[in-house]
Amino acid sequence: MRRAAVVILFLLAACRTTRPPNAESLSPLTSTTPAESARQLAARRSEFRGERSAIRVRLPQISARGQLQVDAAGRMLMTVYSPLGTTLARLYVDRDQVIFLNDFQSTAWHGKPSDLAGSLAAFGNSELPLLLVGLPAAGVRDIAYSAEGIQTVTLGDVVVSYQPPAYPPKTVAIDGGGTHVEIEHNDSFVDPEAVTPPAIPREYRCCVLPQM
């Protein structure tokens, strides 16, 4: 009985948000037309200080809690957790640099975005981190807006859609290469902390290309 209570308390702690008590919330848009929405989002992008979100990641064979961090420079760190709150995997993206740590199997990979395959391939796109937090990345032209936020973005053969269109986003879907990935935002707030590359533990087996 005591052991069961400890497990329940641990699960509850693992499910709590990482939001600091004084965290600054993200304000929704006040736009009433798609054109006004585009202008407001462009302004938000130019003033972007960084963001952290408690998320749920849905890959073809995985659905797990996680955390998404995107900083003002467009660097991204996505962490995926187990049901008990331990770290399963980390994906770091900084333009032409990708680090993937499989903390469950103690393996590491460091390479170029173009080397990513499967459902992770889309995460190698340097424009994706800002799109995951609902902001238009500089240089991306194929964007459809609604009055509430972005509807869809096309990046080559990858389509990013927002369900529903809103800012801050609720669910961001990524479709391309026959795979479907969803990032569900549960709690988002401003976080100006710079995203840095995760340290690779010395005991991790090197150069194992991630396959998901």
Q: pTM for the complete prediction?
A: 0.88
List C-alpha distances in Å: 194 to 47, 64, 113, 200: 15, 25, 20, 18
- Enter the tokens of residue 20: 């600091």
Q: Which sign does the torsion angle of CA 39, 42, 48, 52 carry?
A: positive
pLDDT for the residue numbered 15? 45
Number of domains in the chain: 1
**Position 78 in a domain:** yes
Helix (H) or strand (E) holding 37, with range, is: helix 34-46
pLDDT for the residue numbered 186? 96
List C-alpha distances in Å: 32 to 35, 37, 142, 171: 9, 7, 21, 21
pLDDT for the residue numbered 60? 83
Domain that holds residue 126: 29-190
Please, are residues 118 and 172 in contact by the beta-carbon 8 Å criterion?
A: no
pLDDT for the residue numbered 14? 45
Q: Which residues contact 53 (CB under 8 A, 6 or more apart)?
A: 67, 68, 69, 133, 185, 186, 187, 188, 189
**Position 148 in a domain:** yes
List, as one string, the DSSP characters of 139-198. Answer: T---EEE-SSSEEEEEETTEEEEESS--SS-SEEEEEETTEEEEEEEEEEEE--PPP-PP
**Position 35 in a domain:** yes
Exposure of 107 in the CB half-sphere (CA atoms within 13 A): 8
pLDDT along the chain (212 residues), means of 10: 42 51 92 98 97 94 94 96 95 93 96 83 85 94 97 94 97 92 96 96 91 64
Distance between CA atoms of 127 and 95, rounded to whole angstroms?
A: 8
**Position 209 in a domain:** no
pLDDT for the residue numbered 184? 98
pLDDT for the residue numbered 153? 97
- Can you give the CATH number for the domain in which 117 is found? 2.50.20.10
pLDDT for the residue numbered 182? 97
pLDDT for the residue numbered 18? 60
**Position 9 in a domain:** no
- Could you read off the pLDDT of 81-114 as tens digits, one per residue? 999 999 999 999 998 899 999 999 999 999 988 8
Exposure of 187 in the CB half-sphere (CA atoms within 13 A): 13
pLDDT for the residue numbered 191? 96
